[in-house]
Structure 1
Amino acid sequence: MHRAPDRPGVGTLIGLDGWLGLVLLSLLEAIVLLLATRDVGTTGGTPAMILGYVLIALAGCAVVLPSGDPLPARYTAGVAAIGPVAIFLSTRTPPDRPLTVIAAPIASGLVLGLLSVRGRAGPAWASAVAIVSVTVLVGWSAGLPSASVAGAIGPVGTVGALTVFAAIIRPTQRSLYELRVETTTVAVANAAMRARLEERDRQLARLDRAARLMLERIAAGKLLDDTDRIQCRLLEAELRDGLRAPNLAIGELAAAAREARGRGVEVLLLDDGGFAAVSPQVRDVVVSTAAWELDAVGAGSVTVRVLPAGRRIVASVLVAEPGQDRRTEIDGEGLVQTTVDVYEYG
């Protein structure tokens, strides 16, 4: 049964994966670097502040690089938790020094906005509210003016805008997904139809090559003698081989089977698909071994079987002659082993 393609998220729709995602990540990290440089240059910089911006940069990688929407839970939890921690670290400065409380929240807000686009609006909003709370507490404790602290609500605006964007574009996403499913279904149906037509043409061509002359004689109303009847039986057996064991009814093996049947030997060819898992060299060993066994039999029956894939033994040739049974097995390495059971009548 055909499996429907995975439903793409908004992040996939706007190119948050592949090389476009790398470009977006580069731009995001450049913005974070510029804001960090501005902040460090204004405040003089501290190890805690630098660590905060490093965490924001890592959160940007975690929200862009993973594939599949919504963003996996382990990345979501990390990005949401990093935001408030990074803001606290990046805004911790001694009370007697200037404090910039806008740059770091802006950088973190961009990351959270992308988190919302990746299908994780709830964690993004929770982290944005936590960032604003941390920024307000740190700002007021440092004695900054209310207007300066109020400018730190940027993450809420960014997350809100990108959440609305994702909600607007989601119907387009659904339409594209349905179109993708429909296109894939049609392509699969067309491929199956082509395969059936090609197989039909192949079988008709094979039937034409093998049975055309005999069918024309029968259609013309000509009487068939004993030789013709024997040829009809051989032809019927060959056609059955082509349907039942297409990988065996070829070349020297098909010729050997025809000759053995002409001598009165009962020949049965079976193919259960084991050739799909072995090399062409092993297939050649199976075909040549089976052909040799058929050439050596004067009476009785021969069963050539290709076993299902995954077995240690790839194929077996069972020969039942008057007075003995002979079983030949070929394994996945092409090694041939024969066992003989001899018995007496009466």
Structure 2
Amino acid sequence: MITVPRGLVLFLAGLFSAYHVVLGIYSIDLPRTPGPTIFALALYALATALSLWPSSPMRMGLALAFFNVAVCVVIPLLVGSQLDGSARNGYATWYVAAVGTLMTITATRRRTTLAWVGVGALVVHTIIWAGPAQLLDMGVIGSVVWVTVAVLLARALAKAGRDARQYALAEREATEWQAAQEAHLFERQMRLAQTLRLAAPMLRHIIDRHGELDADDRQECRYLEAAVRDEIRGRKLLNDAVREQVMAARRRGAIVTLLDEGTIDDLDGTELEAVLDQLAAAIGESTADTIIARTAGEGSATAVTVVGLSSADARLSALGQDSPEPEVDLWLEIPRDPATASALGV
């Protein structure tokens, strides 16, 4: 996209406005009273300087816009009071182009309604002071055209800016959607590959046995089903060490549940491996009957919470007493920061 430096635009606008000031000074007729014309020139120069101030925002302040309109009303009255509306005044009607220029700047800076008011005041003054026939001769129509073009350009540029922002937003959303789809595809492929690696030997064994499995084979299928479920629900809670310890715990009769809520997706590399190694060690050292490992909530300093529950003593039920709730055999909070884990001796 080709852009024009703002400084260059302001310089050209200032140069064009200064040209009207030069014409106004040149047209001062000393036999007449120069005071009103000089005051009009000073007002115009002040309004132009404020309107083209380099550090001003793109949208003109409302107070400045009203000031510009007031200047456009006052200047024709001041200068016109020293001229004869029925005669050809030449460069003495410099204020017509000056008003058009000032209102063009106002319209460009997104105060289109007030720009129409300012140039409309010029039209009304000219009709009353010199008659409708002078609208073309004095260049009033040209000033109206300038403002019209400025308004149309301002609206077109504003629409182009909105469209560009919408296209950028749509492109960003499309890129994010594509990245998410690719991530989901990669995740599915990885999970399928892992599932195939786990289940392929047993599937071949089932084929070789023509579907006739003994008790040990059926139990092994249950272990494999639980391992496949871990790949779906456990996601980032799994590495080779965790898989090995989970399978060992299940083989000794424990119930192991892994739940990944997606709150450790930002962990990667050594940080994630440190968390998973601590999780594997906790599962391997626990003698609990039920082990639950779950990622902590969003914004927590804890990465994974591990809970181990032991069943109540069966002898209490034999004596006719109510069985108590399962006892907590293991409670471990694995922090996200490996340095914190080392300091706590985890």
Q: What interval of TM-score do these two structures reach, taking the shorter chain for normalisation?
A: 0.5 to 0.7
State how far apart, in whole Å, the 1-side matches of 2:331 and 2:213 are. Answer: 38
State how far apart, in whole Å, the 2-side matches of 1:196 and 1:329 are. Answer: 29
Contact conserved, 2:256 with 2:291, CA < 8 A, in 1?
A: yes
Cα offsets for 1:27-81 (capped at 9, x unmatched)? 5323322223323434458654432221231499644xx6xxxxxxxx4735643
Q: Secondary structure at the match of 2:52?
A: helix
State how far apart, in whole Å, the 1-side matches of 2:277 and 2:291 are. Answer: 14
Q: How does 1:42-53 map to 2 (within 5 A)?
A: 42-44=23-25, 48-53=43-48
**Unpaired runs of 5+ in structure 2?**
26-37, 84-91, 312-326
Contact conserved, 1:52 with 1:85, CA < 8 A, in 2?
A: no
- Say if 2:207 is the partner of 1:219: yes
State how far apart, in whole Å, the 2-side matches of 1:296 and 1:108 are. Answer: 83
Q: How many residues align?
A: 301
Q: 1:255 to 1:177 in 2, by over 3 A?
A: same
Q: How does 1:180-259 map to 2 (within 5 A)?
A: 194-220=182-208, 221=210, 223-259=212-248
Cα offsets for 1:257-280 (capped at 9, x unmatched)? 122222222211111122145676
- Say if 2:153 is the partner of 1:129: no
Cα offsets for 1:222-246 (capped at 9, x unmatched)? 5434443333222211111111120
Cα offsets for 1:134-163 (capped at 9, x unmatched)? x859x969xxxx679942454422233455
TM-score normalized with structure 2 length: 0.65
Q: 1:288 to 1:308 in 2, by over 3 A?
A: same
Q: Residue 53 of structure 1 aligns to which amino acid in structure 2? A: T
TM-score normalized with structure 1 length: 0.65
Q: Greater RCO between the two (CA within 8 Å, min separation 6)?
A: 1
Corresponding residue of 1:110: 104
- Say if 2:95 is the partner of 1:101: yes
Corresponding residue of 1:329: 333
CA RMSD of aligned residues (A): 4.8
Corresponding residue of 1:54: 49
Q: Percent identity?
A: 22
Q: Secondary structure at the match of 1:305?
A: strand
Q: 1:87 to 1:35 in 2, by over 3 A?
A: farther
Q: Secondary structure at the match of 2:193?
A: helix
Q: 1:51 to 1:182 in 2, by over 3 A?
A: closer
Corresponding residue of 2:320: none
Q: Secondary structure at the match of 2:139?
A: helix
Q: Residue 83 of structure 1 aligns to which amino acid in structure 2? A: N
Q: How does 1:1-346 map to 2 (within 5 A)?
A: 20=3, 22-23=4-5, 25-44=6-25, 48-58=43-53, 62-63=57-58, 75=60, 77=62, 80-85=65-70, 87=72, 100-114=94-108, 121-130=112-121, 150-163=138-151, 194-220=182-208, 221=210, 223-276=212-265, 282-321=271-310, 325-334=329-338, 335-336=340-341
Q: 1:275 to 1:227 in 2, by over 3 A?
A: same
Corresponding residue of 2:318: none
State how far apart, in whole Å, the 2-side matches of 1:224 and 1:211 are. Answer: 15
Contact conserved, 1:102 with 1:151, CA < 8 A, in 2?
A: yes
State how far apart, in whole Å, the 2-side matches of 1:285 and 1:190 are. Answer: 31
